[in-house]
């Protein structure tokens, strides 16, 4: 008997026991039926979790990258807010975080930033956040206090284990080194420590300048390139499957997945599931479970509303 059949049978038994207890007005049988129903609820939750995180790399760590989009300084500030939101979410989950790259914005925020996340099912949960995030608020950088719309893109890839072989030939890549940008003064790096690796066949580019050591920047850049190439090949193999193709369109890097409105009202709305909440401050502080889990469970918005 499969897991679903076993849980279904247990639920039927609990319902029958409850019915008998009600007919007999037997408090002992009622308590037994309630305990059986609670046990079934635990098993259903376990099945839901298994369904949510059954992908080949869902147990793996993740590489999270945030890039500012349209909106200038406002978008760079928004990218920094998202970066903090995800680090807070990871802290709430008890996952370890290792900063990878950070490029400061011209006036505020960040142009881009990335970090590694180590913890069981880190990629399984964080893959739900891949896409474009839209912010609407009264700009703190506008003297006229006008409402502004900003965009930032989030990319999430699994951290590939070292025992998985990704063959990258030296002839297939171009490696450039350059002087990393900094805050100025004593923090200016006077050596070409920043590294940019371009995979010529796919056009994938990885830049790393967070570390003062060129060797460490190069090592991190190669690790991220391996993960991106692995995901690239996985997508190529899956594109022939209709279901995988539909999912790919749903989570494509260029698609807008969520809106965060701070003014004139407060609302966060996931555009894929239709789930929304007015607890904007909590969400920006990393309380994302209520937005991530529905998408992982397959909740999708339709023209008629929300289906699950």
In tens, the pLDDT along 107-150 reads 899 999 999 999 999 999 999 999 999 999 998 888 787 888 99
Separation between Cα atoms, residue 238 and residue 102, nearest integer Å: 32
For residue 5, name the pLDDT band (cuts at 50, 70, 90): low
Residue labelled with tokens 């004139």 = 264
Give the pLDDT of residue 192: 78
pLDDT, average across residues 82-101: 96
In sequence order, the 6+-apart residues with CB closer than 8 A to the CB of 174 are 197, 198, 200
Q: Yes or no: say if 21 and 32 are a contact pair by the CB < 8 Å rule.
A: yes
Give the pLDDT of residue 197: 92
Q: Yes or no: say if 69 and 150 are a contact pair by the CB < 8 Å rule.
A: yes
Evaluated on CA atoms 278, 284, 287, 291, the torsion sign reads positive
For residue 54, name the pLDDT band (cuts at 50, 70, 90): confident
- The maximal CA–CA distance of the chain, rounded, in angstroms, is 85
Q: Is the pTM of this model over 0.75?
A: no
3-state secondary structure of 105: coil
Q: Residue 151: how many CB atoms within 10 A of its CB?
A: 18
> 305 pLDDT exceeds 60?
no
Residue labelled with tokens 């891949």 = 130
What is the per-residue pLDDT across 218-270, written as a single tens digit (0 to 9) for each?
888 988 998 888 888 877 766 644 453 444 444 344 568 999 999 889 999 99
pLDDT, average across residues 48-73: 87
Q: Yes or no: say if 66 and 113 are a contact pair by the CB < 8 Å rule.
A: yes
| Peptide bond just before 264 cis, omega within 30 deg | yes
Residue labelled with tokens 């008890």 = 94
Higher pLDDT, residue 90 or 44? 90
């Amino acid at each position: 008997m499969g897991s679903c059949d076993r849980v279904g049978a247990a639920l039927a038994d609990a319902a029958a026991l409850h019915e008998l207890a009600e007919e007999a007005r037997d408090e002992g049988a009622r308590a037994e039926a309630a305990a059986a129903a609670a046990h079934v609820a635990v098993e259903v939750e376990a099945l839901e979790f298994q369904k949510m995180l059954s992908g080949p790399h869902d147990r793996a760590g993740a590489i999270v990258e945030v890039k500012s989009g349209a909106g200038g300084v406002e978008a760079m500030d928004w990218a920094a807010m998202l970066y903090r939101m995800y680090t807070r979410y990871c802290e709430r989950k008890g996952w370890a975080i290792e900063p990878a790259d950070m490029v400061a914005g011209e006036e505020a925020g960040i142009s881009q930033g990335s970090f590694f996340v180590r913890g069981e099912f880190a990629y399984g949960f964080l893959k739900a956040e891949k896409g474009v995030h839209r912010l609407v608020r009264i700009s703190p950088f506008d003297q006229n206090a006008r409402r502004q719309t900003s965009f930032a893109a989030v990319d999430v890839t699994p951290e590939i284990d070292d025992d998985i072989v990704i063959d990258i030939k030296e002839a297939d890549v171009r490696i450039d080194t350059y002087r990393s940008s900094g805050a100025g003064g004593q923090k200016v790096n006077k050596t070409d420590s920043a590294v940019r690796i371009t995979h010529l066949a796919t056009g994938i580019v990885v830049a790393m300048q967070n570390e003062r050591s060129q060797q460490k920047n190069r090592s991190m850049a190669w690790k991220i390139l391996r993960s991106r190439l692995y995901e690239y090949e996985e997508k190529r193999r899956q594109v022939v499957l209709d279901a995988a193709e539909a999912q790919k369109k749903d989570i494509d890097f260029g698609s807008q997945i969520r809106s965060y409105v701070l003014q004139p009202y407060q609302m966060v709305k996931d555009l894929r599931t239709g789930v929304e909440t007015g607890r904007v401050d909590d969400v920006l502080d990393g309380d994302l479970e209520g937005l991530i889990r529905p998408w992982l469970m397959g909740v999708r918005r339709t023209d008629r509303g929300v289906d699950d």
